[in-house]
Structures are given as structure tokens and as C-alpha cells.
Amino acid sequence: MEGWGGYVLKEKFKLIKSTLKDWHVSHSQNLPAQIAALKERMAVLDGRGEFNEMFVDDCNELHDALANLHSVSRLNISICWQQSRNQWLREGDANTKYFHSILSSRRRRNAICSVLFDGVRIEGVQPVRHAVFNHFAQHFKAPDAERPSIFQYAV
């Protein structure tokens, strides 16, 4: 009996999937044309309101058209974003080689290969690192300066 319950559930999921696909096609088909039609309808209603007094039905229709326009626009933006992500995943980024070469050249240009320290050119990773560390260690070391003390002048 357990096997039949799983089979029935699987068939119900297939029906739901089919129904959802049909609904999606009917509600997301040609969204730019739907947006254009809603904008056109709103322009007609606005034009009618400029010359004549708008009736309650016209106001309600204008409000519904505006709400539908926002809804369809959000749906269109969402679908376009998802399609762009799918395309990027499928095809990749066309400029990857270009950007990689730019980053590589910048990395080479920013690398410190040698340093002139006390008139001597120092090369190599560890010697350059050591020279830079010593330079800044000396540069930021607290100076040994004698400062007058309060106790020297106390009587």
C-alpha cells in the first residue's frame, strides 16, 4: 500500500507542475507588450480626465491599471534578471580574459622587485622584505630625547 501512496503523490506533483507551467506561460507571455498596453490605457484614461470629469469607474480603472502596471513591471524585471543570470552561468563572462590580463599587468606593475637602500640595490623577496621592515622600524621608532622632569626643578 505504501508504494501506491507514493505513486499517487508523484502523479499529483506532475499535474501541479503542468498546471504551474501553463499558468506561468499565460501570465508571463509577452510582458513588454502587456506593459505597453497598460501604459496606453492609462494615457487614454488620463486624457479623458483632462477634458472631462472622471467618473468613479474611470478612477477605479485607472487605479487598477496602475496596480497592474507595477505588478507586471516587477515580474518583467524579475524574469529579465533571472534570464541574465542563467545566460551568464551558461556562457560565462565574455571579458574574463581581458580583465584577467589587466589584473595581471597591475600586479606586475605594483610588485617591488628591488629597493635602493643606503646606495645598495637589494633584490629578492626576503632581502627586500627585511630592508623595508628595517626602514619603517627605524622610521617609527620613538626617539630617545631627554626631556626635563618636574623633579629637577622641585626645591
Query: 51-77, pLDDT tens digit by residue?
Result: 788 788 888 998 999 999 999 999 899
pLDDT given for residue 154 in this prediction:
57
Q: How many CA atoms lie within 13 A of 15 on its CB side?
A: 6
Report the share of the chain in percent with pLDDT over 90: 16
The residues, ordered by sequence, that sit 6+ positions from 135 with a Cβ below 8 Å of its Cβ are 117
Name residue 121's beta-bridge partners.
Answer: 116
The pLDDT value recorded for residue 10 is: 86
The three cell numbers locating residue 112: 617591488
Report CA torsion sign: 139, 141, 145, 150: positive
pLDDT at position 70: 93
pLDDT at 121: 92
pLDDT in tens, 1-30: 455 667 788 888 888 998 888 887 777 778
* pLDDT of res. 8: 84
pLDDT per residue over 72-108, tens digit each?
Answer: 999 899 988 988 888 878 877 767 788 888 889 998 8
What's residue 55's pLDDT? 83
Residue with cell 491599471: 65
In sequence order, which ranges of 29-124 are alpha helices (DSSP H)?
Answer: 31-51, 56-91, 96-110
What pLDDT, on a 0 to 100 scale, did the predictor assign at position 1? Answer: 44
